[in-house]
Amino acid sequence: MDTFASYHPAALLGYFMAVLLPAMFSANPALHLLVLLGGLAFWALLVPGRTFAGDLAFYTLLSLMIAVTNPLFSHNGVTPLFFLNGNPVTLEAVWYGVDMAVMLVAVLYWCKCFHRVMSDDKLLFLLAGTASSLSLLISSAIRFVPELKERIARVHQAQKAMGLYSSGSYVDRLLGGLRVFSAVLSWSLECAVETGQAMKGRGYGLKGRSHYALFRLRPRDGWFAAVTLCMAAAVVTVMARGALTHDFYPKMTGLSAAPEALLGYAAYGVLAALPFLLEAAGRCRWHLLLRRCARQDTGGEPGKDGVRWTY
């Protein structure tokens, strides 16, 4: 089930920017925490539980290390805990480290989500809208690299089975590798000529190239974009009015609990949780459907077994 991933690529790209940029340009730990929780919750739906747990352990350790490292290098802050080699280790620096870690881990998790949600199809689709030849170039490069690797492996295997270039010193092997590589390169160039002809044969280079729309804008994309936009606008406005500023050094300002700030947090919370909510809602709807169908199946015609409803 990919409820979230099935939105239009442009809407998705907009969303990812809307959710990451405010967190990255603000030093407010509440925003960082919200974005981390949103990312974590969504990621938890995307991967199996065991993978998620393993990942989480890794990132927890990583963030601990960042949190510990920061106060060793930054000695600003009004609350010294103890002195290390004559330099103060301060409470502020520790919190700042924690915040940095939260922020970093959040960005990493969102990158994972981005990678999972934005398949190369979607990225190329977006690119084709703006730079179609670049998008084509990337597309053929994606094809070319594994092909080159495979060719090298094949030539290498052939040479090995003749007892060439596989034994002897490192220098021999290196030279052999170079030879294989250059042979494969000229082989690939040979193939590239054919590919070029095939491109021409299918009309590449004619004026007025269009591109195939693998994705269509649907009403739900509009709704999604509207919600994203509203929430992002609210957060940015609140931020711009200075209601969400926060400082660690030299002395931590407490998190503001003014109504305006709370509004900002709420908007950002909704924004960050959006993928999770959409994905979870999609799954719930799915389960309900299944249950209803199961009821109809058993209640309706008990004689016929098998699946009447196919999805």
Rounded Cα gap, residues 72 and 27, in angstroms: 20
Compare residues 3 and 90 and give the one whose CB is closer to other proteins.
Answer: 90
Contacts 24+ apart (CB under 8 A), 115-118: 116/5, 116/46, 117/2, 117/4, 117/5, 117/12, 117/275, 118/9, 118/12, 118/13, 118/16
In this chain, which of 131, 164, 230, 294 binds other proteins, going by CB under 8 A?
Answer: 164
For residues 64-103, which are near other proteins according to CB under 8 A? 65, 68-69, 72, 75-78, 80-88
Rounded Cα gap, residues 117 and 9, in angstroms: 9
Residues whose CB falls within 8 Å of the CB of residue 100, separated by 6 or more in sequence, listed in order: 66, 67, 70
In this chain, which of 134, 175, 199, 289 binds other proteins, going by CB under 8 A?
Answer: 199
Bridge partners, 88 (sequence order): 83
Per-position x/- string for 125-154, each x denoting binding to other proteins as judged by CB under 8 A, each - no binding: -----------x--xx-xx--xx---x--x
- Choices 2-10, 30-38, 200-208, 296-304; region in contact with other proteins by CB under 8 A: 200-208
Going by C-alpha positions, the residue among 112, 125, 134 that lies closest to residue 58 is: 112
Place of tokens 């594994």: 146
In this chain, which of 50, 162, 171, 306 binds other proteins, going by CB under 8 A?
Answer: 162
Minimal distance, residue 290 CB to other proteins, in Å: 23
- Choices 41-49, 176-184, 219-227, 262-270; region in contact with other proteins by CB under 8 A: 176-184
In this chain, which of 2, 172, 247, 260 binds other proteins, going by CB under 8 A?
Answer: 247
Minimal distance, residue 138 CB to other proteins, in Å: 9
Q: What's the number of CA atoms in the CB half-sphere (13 Å) around residue 30?
A: 21
Q: Does 51 bind other proteins (CB under 8 A)?
A: no
Minimal distance, residue 227 CB to other proteins, in Å: 27
Q: Does 310 bind other proteins (CB under 8 A)?
A: no
